[in-house]
Amino acid sequence: MNLPEDFKTKYQRLLGDDATDFFASFDTPSLSGYRTNPAHHDLPDQLTAAPTVPYEPLGHFGTVGGRTLMHQSGAVYSQEPSAMFVGATAAPKPGETILDLCAAPGGKTTHLASYLQGTGLLVTNEINRKRVKVLAENVERFGVREAVILNESPDRLSPIFPDFFDKVLVDAPCSGEGMFRKDPAAMDYWSLDYVEECAARQREIMTEALKMVKPGGQLIYSTCTFAPEEDEQMMAWVLKNYPEFHLVPITKVGGVIDARPDWADGNPELKKAARLFPHLMQGEGHFVAKLERDAGDAQTPRGTAKLGTPLTGDQRKLWQDFAQTVVGGSDWANLVTVKDQLFAVPAGLPNLKKLHVFRPGLHLGTFKKNRFEPAYALALASDPRQVAQTLAITDQQWRAWVHGETFTLTTAPKKGWYLLVCAGQPVGFGKVVGTTVKNFFPKGLRFTVYDDDVSAAN
């Protein structure tokens, strides 16, 4: 790989004798990985039997194609193995309040959701309007129930969420040096000046992010760069300017090593952070640190969530009829409408009226004239074992379904909505009329499945 000269000079100086192996790693293949979704069951053996990532039991080395049943249903999420170390370090407990501040495309958000197990509150934010759409699609596909998706800047979030979160994840925008092997295009915009620009932006982000950690809470900071300016030196800056925070030791396995105090101010506390080098472990370059705030009194956020409009009597009846008949009852609370769209909003939110809320919660469906049409997101968040009306479909029927086609059944079941299930996985809602299953797979997500897509999977 034709690495930038300034990059080679810098890391020859920093790494010394280790530089040869470090540079050689850029000419070795990049590894792929995926995580299984703990909310899904009956996964095929070839997925669960693949080699496990050392620090994440849900993570495996291997690939899963985007045009496969397991990917479309949200049973798996493709993620680079080193990136899994971030979520595994955060490891939120069920019921906690979590913020993923720089969340797109959604790999770390969905990982955090796996730990929350459908409980607590997950606020996931992305400042870029185009990227927040990708984030929403991935959160939806993974069947995350407890997420609110925001499209905001950190300085607009901190006044709304002072001292609020049990854990804040800052996967900071960075110079991307750790991704050179996987994405050589990242070298096109790299320079020594760009590293300094990224560090300045990270300090701005951290200034706001630290305000949102509750007393006794934690902030997990990560980058995908080797640059000390963005890693050890960033943590040294936090420790100097925010004495109420201290570093917590991170468990290091699978070739993960201590961070380098000698690359910052020499404070031995910096060794508690972690570095992931591609010549020492199976994955790309990352830096991860865990900061903890001292215990104390927290501010009380003012107001309560004001999102959407309460349901009318007719809307509530339409939803309840659908829920009882199809879903099998409803444990959904905090139901609101945004125009004609129905959402289940997680509990415990402050007033978000001043923020741009991209998704206020799980999308349940749409109210149309005298009827309710369930959402794709609700289907992927449903457990087929608990749904009242399911319809098992074949692989060929699934291929027709994701292509946007109707298909015909050999016998006619009761008319109405069904959760379509293929190989034990929820894939969407279909409406049965006679022997025909009408297609409601979202038009923007439709695709054609080829035999090569299936045979090459994993």
Phi, psi of 90 (to 5 degrees): -65, -50
pLDDT of residue 139: 98
pLDDT of residue 303: 63
Contact present, 138 and 71 (Cβ < 8 Å): no
Please compute the mean of the pLDDT values over residues 417-429 and round it to a whole number. Answer: 97
CA distance 357 to 64: 32
Phi, psi of 94 (to 5 degrees): -50, 135
CA distance 380 to 384: 10
Rg (CA), the chain: 23
The distance in angstroms from the start CA to the end CA of the chain is: 27
pLDDT of 305 higher than 90: no
CA distance 98 to 119: 11
pLDDT of residue 456: 46
CA distance 198 to 178: 14
CA distance 416 to 322: 10
Residue 412 — very low, low, confident or very high, per pLDDT cuts 50/70/90? confident
pLDDT of 86 higher than 80: yes
What is the DSSP code string of 85-150? HHHHHH-PPTT-EEEESS-TT-HHHHHHHHHHTT-SEEEEE-S-HHHHHHHHHHHHHTT-SSEEEE
Choosing from 102, 174, 198, 224, the catalytic residue is 224
| Strand-strand pairing, 362-368 and 371-374 | antiparallel
pLDDT of 458 higher than 60: no
The alpha carbon of 60 is separated from its chain's Cα centroid by a whole number of angstroms, namely 17
Contact present, 234 and 225 (Cβ < 8 Å): no
pLDDT of residue 450: 86
pLDDT of residue 196: 98
Q: What is the mean pLDDT of the chain?
A: 95
Contact present, 206 and 233 (Cβ < 8 Å): no
Residue 306 — very low, low, confident or very high, per pLDDT cuts 50/70/90? confident
0.85 surpassed by pTM? yes
pLDDT digits (tens, 9 = 90+) for 251-289: 999 999 999 999 999 999 999 999 999 999 999 999 999
Please compute the mean of the pLDDT values over residues 12-38 and round it to a whole number. Answer: 97
pLDDT of residue 1: 87
DSSP state of 309: B
Question: Percent of the chain having pLDDT more than 90?
Answer: 93
Whether 224 is catalytic: yes
CA distance 323 to 333: 13
Contact present, 429 and 47 (Cβ < 8 Å): no
